[in-house]
A and B are shown apart, each in its own frame.
Chain A
């Protein structure tokens, strides 16, 4: 299963090593600890804000998902706080870049 082809459809998949039982990030066919093949599953689509800043009127933040994966994305509305929980509302690939749009929980 190709991570990017699913992301294009708006699905955020996570690669997990069958052997180590650990999340492999960035997404890869092989575990970065043991090189065994990974399995793919849907993300919980939830994370927590590690840090954030603002450009013009738009907040962008660094979010940790499932205590492992960190990505940067947009906050759709509201004022974020560090440690606050967020939901990934939308994700995909636009102009060759991944994008993640989160809402505050």
Chain B
């Protein structure tokens, strides 16, 4: 398979702003062009837009507003992992030879319709994500004898880490007591256990090996891709205390990249809610089942930024269509040694975990320097 790399990135600050989706898309695309002086509009063969926004024809609109006339232009939607799905599509266009350079731009507004999967009637009247998160949390706590206080370390850690991310929604740190005393949404979930919907955009330029080197001195290669969709409906999950789709996607990605979890220096995992971080770490193979919280406690106590250095979804905010792209940008910057205060020393191999709808679908990417 020909090598496909990341040639440039652009991002906006994540906010609660009432901006038009087209404007959010354009801002991160402009930032990408600002970051790549050698890039011309004619270099771009395809423009892929990742969003859950209901506006139509956004890739053609973004192309026109950016002065690009691509061969291929279309949108990609897969709820919360739209972003990495768009990156995988871009990879495929390049690997197949249909395109040489692909702009992937993700954007969402704070009021995204992608937050609730209306189709999933097996959730009855409990369609908001806080209900699947409550069931996951209760099942995880029950199976592994984990407490609310232990799970609260996840938002404490991720808000802390997000303070070094200039684009993060979160602007403050929280104590364990703050998390525990935040508004109780259900018996098993508090407001500060949740990532927050927001307005934000993230863009990435993927290109073939030679083209990549035209735009950056430090290309980052996508060496592993794993994806799995086990169902659409939350209640079809076989386990409510682990992520089956993540486990399968990780295994595929590691096999493709010929590396294993011990080689990973830095990872962005999909902490949509507190419980998702330990569950993801376990399903990705970073630690044994039920031991995710121990790993997180240790990382937090030693200020080790290995997991979610930009603050994850909880600290950064969760603009659905932009999230997977923002996660990939973070790992790219880490491997390029340009993550400033968030930098993990000598990071060579990184992982992105992005999932949708109560882990019914997962994408895992392995990135290497």
Interface residues of A (CB under 8 A from B): 25-26, 50-55, 60, 62, 69-74, 82, 94, 96-100
Contact residues in A for B124 (Cβ distance below 8 Å):
71-74, 97-100
Q: Which of A25, A53, A94, A99 contacts B186 (CB 8 A)?
A: A53
* B240 (CB) vs chain A CBs: closest residue: A51
**Does B185 count as interface, using CB distance less than 8 angstroms?**
yes
A25 to B137, CA, bound (A): 25
Q: Are B139 and A51 in contact, with the CB atoms below 8 A?
A: yes
When distances are taken between beta carbons in the complex, the residues of chain A under 8 Å from B134 are 53, 55, 60
Contacting residues, chain B, for A97 (C-beta < 8 A): 121, 124-125, 127
Closest Cβ of chain B to A86, distance in Å, is: 13
Q: Count the A-B residue pairs with Cβ separation under 8 angstroms: how many?
A: 66
Q: Quick check: B125 and A98 within 8 Å, CB to CB?
A: yes
Shortest CB–CB separation between residue A10 and chain B, in angstroms? Answer: 14
Neighbouring B residues of A51 by C-beta, 8 Å: 135, 138-139, 142, 240
Contacts of A50 in B (CB 8 A): 240
- Is B122 among interface residues, defined by CB-CB distance under 8 A? yes
Is the C-beta of B22 less than 8 angstroms from some C-beta in chain A?
no
Q: Judging by beta carbons under 8 Å apart, are B187 and A62 in contact?
A: no
Min CB distance, B296 to chain A, in Å? 22
CB of B236 closer than 8 Å to a CB of A: yes
Interface size on B, residues (CB 8 A): 24
Q: Residue B188 at the A interface, CB < 8 A?
A: yes
Closest 8 CB pairs of A and B: A70-B235, A53-B134, A54-B187, A98-B121, A72-B124, A72-B126, A55-B186, A99-B125
Can you report 29 residue pairs joining A to B where beta carbons are below 8 Å apart? A51-B139, A51-B142, A51-B240, A52-B138, A53-B134, A53-B135, A53-B137, A53-B138, A53-B188, A54-B187, A55-B187, A60-B126, A60-B131, A60-B134, A62-B240, A69-B122, A70-B235, A71-B122, A72-B126, A72-B131, A73-B124, A96-B118, A97-B121, A97-B124, A97-B125, A97-B127, A98-B122, A99-B125, A100-B124
Contact of A53 among B118, B125, B127, B187 (CB under 8 A): B187
Q: How far is the CA of A82 from the CA of B141 in the complex (A)?
A: 13
Q: What is the bound-complex CA distance between A79 and B224, given in angstroms?
A: 47
Contacts of B188 in A (CB 8 A): 53
Q: Within the assembled complex, what's the spacing in Å between the Cα atoms of A62 and B189?
A: 16
Instruction: Determine the chain B residues whose CB is within 8 A of the CB of A60 once the complex forms.
Output: 126, 131, 134
Those of B93-138 within 8 Å (CB) of chain A: 118, 121-127, 131, 134-135, 137-138
Contact with A along B185-216 (1 / 0, CB 8 A): 11111000000000000000000000000000
Min CB–CB distance B269 → chain A (angstroms)? 23
- For residue B290, which residues in chain A have a CB less than 8 angstroms away from its CB? none
Bound form: Cα–Cα A71–B235 in Å: 6
Check if B285 is an interface residue, CB within 8 A of chain A.
no
Contact of A82 among B126, B142, B187 (CB under 8 A): B142
| B46 CB → nearest A CB, Å | 34
Q: How far is the CA of A54 from the CA of B134 in the complex (A)?
A: 9
User: A72 to B124, alpha carbons, bound, how many Å?
Assistant: 5
A54-B139 Cα distance, complex, nearest whole Å: 13
Q: Report yes or no: B122 in contact with A25, Cβ–Cβ below 8 A.
A: yes
Partner of B122 from A52, A54, A70 at Cβ < 8 Å: A70
Please pick, from B123, B127, B137, B186, the residue contacting A54 in the complex, using a CB distance under 8 A: B186
Q: Are B187 and A72 in contact (CB under 8 A)?
A: no
Using Cβ atoms and an 8 Å threshold, which residues of chain B touch A54? 186-187
* Cβ contact within 8 Å between A72 and B123: yes
CA distance A34 to B22 in the complex (A): 43
* B168 CB, min distance to chain A CBs, angstroms: 29
Complex Cα distance, B240 from A55, in Å, reads 19
Q: List the B side residues contacting A69 at CB < 8 Å.
A: 122
Binary flags per residue of B227-245, CB closer than 8 Å to A gives 1, else 0: 0000001011000100000
- Given A53-B135, A82-B142, is A72 in contact with B186 using a C-beta cutoff of 8 Å? no
In the complex, which residues 158-193 of chain B have their Cβ closer than 8 Å to any Cβ of chain A?
A: 185-189
Instruction: Tell me how far the C-beta of A7 lies from the nearest C-beta in chain B, rounded to whole angstroms.
Output: 9
Q: Which of A51, A52, A100 has the most CB of B within 10 A?
A: A51
**Is the beta-carbon distance between B235 and A72 smaller than 8 angstroms?**
yes
Q: How far is the CA of A25 from the CA of B235 in the complex (A)?
A: 10
Closest to B136 in A: A51
**Whole-angstrom CA separation of A53 from B136 in the bound complex:** 10
